């Protein structure tokens, strides 16, 4: 029989039950208790917390994310750690009351559409076995068939009102177990998978009315597309105007351009779309790095809110540009898209909240 332990989450004072074969983070999220997290694989250090009482097994915590001296000091990563006794731990919980917390649940999904939308990029649409409630920008954890216990996380591109059909936009990674070994290999319409969620705090701040500048690179477009559709098509939130800067090297790497141009025509007073090509000149596209185009378009971004998602290098450049344009870190929200090998050596900066 699997042992169960009582866990107390401080400073919230919330008490939950966690199985010995379950991670502390999973138990918290399934109980509707939010604690900071990002990668969910022990590589980014976002969820780092401190054991006040009790013992844990550290699991697959990366030595880059959790140093030996930190373990000796009682630090641990809830996303991969499992309890070995009743536990009291303290997390850096900064609860934003404006963001609903949805308990993580398990789902079964059937693939109903698979489309190549750009060079090395596929759109996957799944039909769920029941409704999914989530915030625009959140992601799901998918179990990879044929690899026991191996999961990968992908953001939903659909808005929250679409509770049964969810969309993922996935980029091919050379040698990737999930992409080269499954999504771009033998995944087919009609296949069923198991997944869980929702996860993440990179979401649309529906209580913010300031103009929003959204910067997307590669499939970092997915969560931002969900936010845009939530605000415009579903009329949620109070955002005054949305500017989307989508960057790619050439047109063959760019996708959903027509979708966003149509939204701009539908909501001309609320949405501005700027697709940018860094290595090609083409009619209807801005030329140059997405950050350079953004900088040229705005003398200042004071009084705006920033959302950034994409590869780490692009995210870092975007953060610098936004701050140079007078946007404070507290008004910038970001998500880095890393493949599994890159994530193992990355430690996320605590400067910008997820």
258: Cβ–Cβ under 8 A, 6 or more apart, which residues? Answer: none
pLDDT at 341: 52
Question: What digits encode the pLDDT tens for the residues 176-217?
Answer: 999 999 999 999 999 999 999 999 889 999 999 999 999 999
Please tell me whether residue 110 adopts helix, strand or coil conformation.
strand
pLDDT at 337: 72
Q: Is the pLDDT of residue 339 over 80?
A: no
pLDDT at 297: 97
Question: What digits encode the pLDDT tens for the residues 30-68?
Answer: 999 988 888 788 988 889 999 999 999 999 999 999 999
Place of tokens 């001309």: 268
Share of residues in the chain with pLDDT > 90 (%): 84
Question: What digits encode the pLDDT tens for the residues 281-320?
Answer: 999 999 999 999 999 999 999 999 999 999 999 999 999 9
Quote the mean pLDDT of the chain: 92
Q: How confident is the model at residue 348 (pLDDT cuts 50, 70, 90)?
A: very low
| Pairing state between β 75-76 and 49-53 | antiparallel
Q: Which residues of 151-168 are buried (b: 16+ CB within 10 A; e: fewer)?
A: bbbbbbbbbbebeeebbb
Place of tokens 């976002």: 46
pLDDT at 259: 97
Q: Is the pLDDT of residue 345 over 60?
A: no
Which of 286, 282, 292 minimizes the C-alpha distance to 273?
A: 286
pLDDT at 97: 74
pLDDT at 98: 78
Q: DSSP secondary-structure letter at 219? A: G
Give pTM, 2 decimals. 0.89
Give me the mean pLDDT over the 83-109 stretch: 90
Structural domains in the chain plus CATH codes: 4-90 (3.10.20.30), 105-199 (2.40.30.10), 212-343 (3.40.50.80)
pLDDT at 350: 36
Give me the mean pLDDT over the 2-21 stretch: 95
- Phi and psi for 135 in degrees, rounded to 5? -95, 145
Q: Is the pLDDT of residue 346 over 80?
A: no
Q: Which residues of 67-102 are buried (b: 16+ CB within 10 A; e: fewer)?
A: eeebbeeebbbbbbbbbeeebebebeeeeeeebeeb
Q: Is the pLDDT of residue 347 over 50?
A: no
Give the tokens for residue 318: 């975007």
């Amino acid at each position: 029989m699997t042992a169960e332990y009582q866990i107390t989450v401080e400073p919230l004072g919330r008490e939950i039950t966690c199985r010995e074969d379950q991670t502390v983070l999973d138990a918290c999220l399934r109980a509707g208790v939010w604690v900071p997290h990002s990668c969910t694989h022990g590589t980014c250090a976002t969820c780092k917390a401190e054991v006040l009482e009790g013992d844990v097994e550290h699991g697959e915590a990366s030595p880059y994310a959790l140093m030996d001296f930190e373990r000796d000091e009682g630090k641990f990563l809830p996303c991969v750690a499992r309890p070995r006794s009743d536990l009291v731990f303290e997390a850096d919980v900064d609860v934003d009351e404006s963001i609903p917390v949805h308990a993580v649940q398990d789902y079964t999904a059937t693939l109903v559409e698979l489309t190549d939308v750009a060079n090395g990029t596929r759109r996957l649409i799944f039909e769920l076995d029941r409704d999914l409630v989530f915030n625009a920008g959140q992601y799901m954890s998918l179990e990879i068939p044929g690899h026991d216990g191996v999961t990968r996380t992908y953001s939903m591109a659909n808005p929250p009102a679409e509770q049964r059909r969810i969309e993922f936009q996935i980029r091919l990674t050379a040698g990737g177990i999930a992409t080269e070994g499954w999504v771009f290999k033998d995944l087919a319409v009609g296949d069923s998978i198991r997944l869980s969620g929702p996860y993440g705090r990179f979401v649309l701040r529906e209580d913010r009315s300031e103009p929003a500048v959204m910067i997307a690179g590669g499939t970092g477009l997915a969560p931002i597309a969900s936010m845009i559709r939530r605000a415009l098509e579903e009329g949620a939130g109070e955002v005054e105007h949305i500017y989307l800067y989508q960057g790619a090297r050439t047109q063959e790497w760019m996708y959903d351009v027509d979708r966003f141009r149509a939204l701009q025509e539908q909501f001309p007073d609320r949405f501005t779309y700027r697709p940018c090509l860094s290595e090609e000149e083409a009619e209807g596209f801005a030329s140059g790095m997405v950050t350079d185009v953004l900088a040229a378009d705005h003398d200042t971004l004071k009084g705006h809110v920033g959302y950034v998602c994409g590869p780490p290098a692009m995210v870092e450049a975007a953060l610098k540009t936004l701050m140079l344009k007078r946007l404070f870190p507290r008004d910038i929200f970001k998500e880095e898209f890393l493949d599994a090998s890159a994530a193992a050596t990355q430690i996320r900066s605590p400067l910008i909240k997820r």
